Amino acid sequence: MEELYRTVALTSEKGDGEIAELKSTLEGLKQEAAARSERNKDLLSKRMAEIQGELKGLRGNPYAARPSIYSGDAPSMIDLKG
């Protein structure tokens, strides 16, 4: 890429300076991207832990696992007139 840029640049002196500037800018962007990635990773880990805690709380609901007495298929009343 550097050679391609040098061939396009007007003067080699100016081109070398711009290449150095581009390299330093690119290095800064790499560091910024790595920092953001690490921060996002931490935020995602925290959020995943929160969601897992919420799911454990929902699983601990004593009424969620117990079937309703009205949900059975068998009749529960006797027809006395019948």
Residue 45's pLDDT band, with cuts at 50, 70 and 90, is very high
> What local confidence, expressed as pLDDT, does residue 80 receive?
73
**pLDDT exceeds 90 at position 48:** yes
pTM, whole model, 2 decimals?
A: 0.52
**Of 61 and 51, which is predicted with more confidence?**
51
**Cβ atoms of 5 and 15 closer than 8 Å:** yes
Pure H helices in 60-79: 62-65
pLDDT digits 0-9 by tens, 1-17: 777 776 766 555 566 77
Q: Specify the pLDDT at position 33.
A: 98
* 41 vs 21 pLDDT, higher one: 41
| Mean pLDDT across 41-58 | 93
